[in-house]
Amino acid sequence: MAGQFRSSVWDPILIIAQIVTIQCVFYLSLGFWISIVDFIAGNYCSLEQFFSFEVLQFKDLQGKLLMIAYILNALTSAGGLWYVVQRTKQCWDFAATAHVSHFIACWLYNARFPYTLLWWLCNAISVVIMTVLGEFLCMRTELRAIPLSVGPKADL
């Protein structure tokens, strides 16, 4: 039996554990950035800031800062992808799963379909940033593991 660099063994327990971990990283880092935003704006943290799609708006400072928090959350969640998933090919899957789960949570929390364009735009940008940065970090790690030279070079 020949050795492989990485075997693709179907392990549903590992996949479910990674999904739950990425979702926890997603909400913990979002909570961290929202608490910083609330400290700057002088507001109190609430579930509305996590799940209400109407708070993301350009009208007031808090809405703008919340959009920044969502974008910063994508950056830190990409670090979670790099640490937990460690596979370039799976970053899109886990980032999309985290955002689809967030979409369902927002839909259930508000008891209606998210209809604001700004919410959709902010989440689309967030999933793209999370995916691209996660893939970049994972690719750097995967390429570092490949040795470029086998032995000493001989000048002929």
Total number of domains in the chain:
1
Q: Structural domain of residue 126, as residue ranges?
A: 12-143
Residue 41 resides in a domain: yes
Report if residue 7 sits inside a domain. Answer: no
Task: Output the 3-class SS for 67-131.
Answer: HHHHHHHHHHHHHHHHHHCCCHHHHHHHHHHHHHHHHHHHHHHHCCCCCCHHHHHHHHHHHHHHH
Position 143 scores a pLDDT of 81
Is 121 within a domain? yes
Share of the chain above pLDDT 70, in %: 87
Mean pLDDT of the chain: 87
Place of tokens 């009208």: 59
Query: Does residue 74 register a pLDDT over 50?
Result: yes
In a domain, 155, yes or no: no
Q: Is residue 105 assigned to a domain?
A: yes
Supply the pLDDT for residue 1.
43
Q: Which amino acid is at 129?
A: I
Closest residue by Cα to residue 66 from 48, 83, 81: 48
Q: What are phi and psi of 148, to 5 degrees?
A: -90, -25
What is the reported pLDDT for 145? 56
Cβ atoms of residues 36 and 69 within 8 Å: yes
| In a domain? residue 50 | yes
Sign, CA dihedral 140-131-39-108, equals negative
pLDDT of residue 19 exceeding 80, the answer is yes
Identify whether 149 is part of a domain. no
Residue 156 domain-assigned (yes or no): no
